[in-house]
Structure formats: C-alpha cells, structure tokens
Chain A
C-alpha cells in the first residue's frame, strides 16, 4: 500500500498529465483512497495501470454506494491491486445524483465512462451497478440489467428506494384484496 507521501506523489504525477483529475487523497482503515473527478476516471485508471512503477493491473472489485443525503450523492469504487507488490489502492469517483424533480427520467441518470476496455472484468460488475443504482457507464458493450428482470422499474440499491417496497403477490392476497 502506498504510504501518505507516496499517495501524494501519485497525485502529483497524475495532476501533471491531467490537471484537476484527483480531487482528494486519504486513508481509510489502512487503505489508500484517491477521490477522482468522474470525467477523468479513465485517465487515472489508465495511468495507474500502465505508468511505470505503478502497475495496478488487477481490478479486484468494482462497486458503488449511495451516500444520500450527501452531495455528490453516488460513488463508484474501483479496488485496484498490484499483485507484485501486494498493494491495494481504491479509486473513488464521486457522481452527482439525478436532478430533483425529474427522478426516473432516463436522461437524468448519472453517467460515467466505462472501464471495460481497460479491465474486461468490469463488464458484469458495471452491469450490476447500473442494475441497482441506475448509473450509466458510457461505452459499455451491453449495458442491460443483469440480476433483476429486464422490465423492472426503479433502482433498488439507492437509499431512497424503500426496503420491502415490492408487494408480494400471494394468491390469497390477490383473491381477497385484488
């Protein structure tokens, strides 16, 4: 794991090529975290993967979280791993939520670039994030729902989606309460 000065060096080198790409650095529970601008996430991931001396070539996991009511509301996390040095680094792209009032409008979904070209392992995981959070990955080869039915409406892992919001259709209930 890069230490605090190492993380600042990484930040500095990324900023040289891509000004404004890294918004913040930090450590969370002994894990180095780079918070990046979602518009430049691909540049940062490419740099971390390919730059000499970095070599974070293995994407362990890609997942998202909803920090409602914080703003920006969503984050997509990339858990990168350098298997030679056994170092992990987390890249966190913060995304603003859908504009208030027109939630549910497909145009208002938050968007981020897909990293399937860089890390083919992200294909299923990006589909899963899209499925549950409604985050659109631009350039994904087949961005459809993966675990939920294709005709499902809503983004169930968002924090404003109620738990138990889906009524269970028992035949007894149907018969008696329509």
Chain B
C-alpha cells in the first residue's frame, strides 16, 4: 500500500484523459455485430470509428456462381429485415436487363408486400430502439404487430421471412382466399396501434429527454455523406424515391412524405411512425385497386410454366427443364436499379455477360452508406446519446456487411 503511494501515477486528470474503449461487436445496443472504437473524455465521445465486416458472407461473390433465378434467395439474406426490398431491387434490375414487363396485378402485389415489409421493418426498429432507451414494454407491443405481419406473409408465401415471393416477371403465386380480409383487419388495426405507441412514448419524460436535441446532423452534411431515407427526411428534405422515380404501382398511389424539422433523434422517430401510417394507406389503395389478371408474366423464356401444363404440354416441359437446369440467359449489359428501402436508397447493380449467371451483382445498401454519418451524429455528445443515435440510425448489419 505504502509502496504504491510512493510510485506516483502519470499526471493525468481523469476528467480530461482520453480513453479508447471498444463497444461491440457483441453488444446488445449495437443492433448486430458492429464494433465501435470510441475515444472518450469522461462521458463525452471525442472520436468514433465503426469497424464492420464481422458478418461478411460474400453474398455478392456467391451470386456470380448462381443462375439468375437462384440468386433471389441469396440477396434476401443481406438486409434480413427488409427482404422484400432486396428481392424487388434484384428482380427489377434483371427485368430491366431482359426487357420484361410485369403484369399490373404483380406490380400491385409487389407494392403491397413492400409496404407491409416497410411496416415490419419500422416495427422491429421501434421495438429494439425503444428497448435501448429503457422503454422495454415497447418491444412486446411492436413485436405483437410484427407477428401479425409475419402471419400474413406466411399465409401468402408459405414463409415468415425470406420468402422468395418475387420472381423475375412477377410474383410466384397469387394471394390466397381469405388473405384480403385478414389484411384489411390488420390495416384497420395498425393506425390505432401507432397512436398507442405515440401515447406510450410521446409523453415519456425519459424518452423525450434522450431523443430531443440529440444526434443532430445538418441536411447539407447528410447529403454530402450520401445519407437517404428517414434520416434525411427528418431534416426536412422531402426526398423519397417512391415519388421521384416511377416504379411499381407507386405513381398511382396517393401518399405523403413525412418530414421532420431539426433532424434530431426525436424527428427520426416521428418520421418513421408517420411512414407506418402512410404505408397503411398505400396498402389500402393497393388492395382496393388490385387489378385482375395474371400475377406473373407469361414469357416462357423467363418464367416457369404453370404446374398444370407440365403433364399435357411438351413445350411447357421443355421450357420448365431449360429454366430449372440452365436458367435463362440475359443479354450483355449493366443496369442500376434503385428503390426506396425503409432505410433509404437501395440500389442493385447487375452486370450481365450473356450467360445464364450474372457477372456482377452489387448492392448499394443504405445501412452501409448511412453508417458513415454516425461519427457526425455521436462526436461531442454523451455516450448515452450515442446509443440513442445508433438506434435511430437503424443499421442492419447483415446489409452493411453483405
């Protein structure tokens, strides 16, 4: 004891000493395997470096070894929360490469499931982020509604997640009997639930003080950093690819783009909640306006023939055999197709070399790009605010690492 006292410690003030600590990769608040190397001065974050790659699985490389239609289940597993969006980005890109027009019913069904998936994604985000901020009960409420969505998805596609429902040319099956009624029950219920979430959080003193005024990044800086989606809209920039570009049935839908004002974490929360309500409106319109007709294109060079034809038509059997064994060939070219994912611009870049396998599949994942803004959000704030900002950033590490 006495000896320890004679050895004077180095002259540092514990208030100003910068300490580097590691948060993650296995930490519940990082929403996946994200590692943060954080320089702390007391409780203040002075510098921050996200380290990623812990769940890199080489999906883009694996896609180059699969025929076009076998790539679909692969890409779904990148951003595992918004799997319908990954499928749409990829299928849409391939459809543009082969020049395949999808029938109106398929456009509407895809729009419907994308919006259902957007609600699902925002519910997962709200539940887990509120959990980080101490509102534990939110997780159960959000996951209760999420389960209803998964039940609906299971009813239509047979799978709760990673459904492989979208095909090149349309969707694999029409919606089953009774689906519409169940979905109408859900969309009647969902706006009420959103008001309940708001009642739980909007007057919660702790939630408000942890989100209001924290994690602010200016609109110009976000645009420089390529940030899109609710993060950008929270600063008041009404940029939404669903409005800006024509794809699927969005031009025929009536919906608003919710925007925030200052761009703090509270605005990000409000924007996403408002987006859930807008998604419900889109689903309702898609159900009301669902056109009759085929749910998948009938170009047999790219689309599997119906099962019933296989026992009667030799032609169908040949097409089926060719599609299942070799797959279809795609003329050389490259295309970049982007859609509005729950997290921002999800782009899919496909290079075709004329064979039946893609020469390159690249995903511009919004989580990956948005993560660059995290340093700006968290530096010179408290550690607790950094956790709140990370939750509101909503990165999905499967999408970041691919």
Seen from chain A, the residues whose Cβ lies within 8 Å of a Cβ on chain B are 28-29, 31, 57-61, 63, 65-67, 77, 79, 83, 86, 88, 90, 119-125, 128, 132, 145-149, 156-157, 159, 161, 163-164
CB-based nearest A residue for B63: A163
Which chain A positions have C-beta within 8 A of B96?
Answer: 29
**Distance in angstroms between the alpha carbons of A63 and B244 in the assembled complex:** 23
Point out the residue from B226, B334, B335, B347 that lies within 8 Å of A121, measured CB to CB: B226
Question: Which residues of chain B come closer than 8 Å to A90, judged between CB atoms?
Answer: 336
Mask of B349-378 contacts with A, CB within 8 angstroms, 1/0? 101000000011010100011011000000
> A124 touching B335 by the CB < 8 A rule?
no
Residues of B within 8 A of A61 (CB): 336, 338, 347, 349, 364
Q: Which of A29, A66, A122, A124 contacts B371 (CB 8 A)?
A: A124
B398 to chain A, nearest CB (A): 12
Q: Is the CB of A31 within 8 A of B335?
A: yes
B338 to chain A: closest CB distance in Å?
Answer: 7
Tell me whether B372 and A147 are in contact (CB under 8 A): no
Chain B residues with Cβ below 8 Å from A59 are: 226
B206 at the interface (CB under 8 A from A): no
CB-CB under 8 A from B58, the residues of chain A are 156
28 CB-based A-B contacts, threshold 8 Å: A28-B333, A29-B97, A58-B226, A60-B226, A60-B345, A60-B364, A61-B364, A63-B349, A63-B362, A65-B349, A65-B362, A119-B224, A121-B372, A124-B369, A124-B371, A124-B372, A147-B52, A147-B53, A147-B56, A147-B402, A148-B53, A148-B56, A149-B53, A156-B58, A157-B360, A159-B359, A161-B61, A163-B64
Tell me the B residues contacting A by CB distance below 8 Å: 52-53, 56, 58, 60-62, 64-65, 96-97, 223-227, 239, 244-245, 333-336, 338, 345, 347, 349, 351, 359-360, 362, 364, 368-369, 371-372, 401-402
- Complex CA distance for A31 and B402, rounded to whole angstroms: 26
Count A-B contacts at CB 8 Å: 96
Q: Which residues of A contact B226 (CB under 8 A)?
A: 58-60, 119-122
Q: Give min CB distance, B88 to chain A, whole Å.
A: 17
Given contacts A77-B349, A86-B245, A163 and B61 within 8 Å (CB-CB)? yes
| B53, B96, B227, B338 interface centre (most CB from chain A within 10 Å) | B53
Shortest Cβ distance from A66 into B: residue: B360
* Residues on the B chain within 8 Å of A128, using CB: 368
Q: Specify the chain B residue showing the minimal Cβ separation from A62.
A: B364
Shortest Cβ distance from residue A83 to the other chain B in the assembled complex, whole angstroms: 6
Contacts beyond the supplied A121-B226, A122-B226, A147-B52: 13 A-B pairs with Cβ under 8 Å? A58-B226, A77-B349, A79-B347, A79-B349, A121-B369, A123-B372, A124-B371, A146-B52, A147-B401, A147-B402, A156-B58, A156-B61, A163-B61
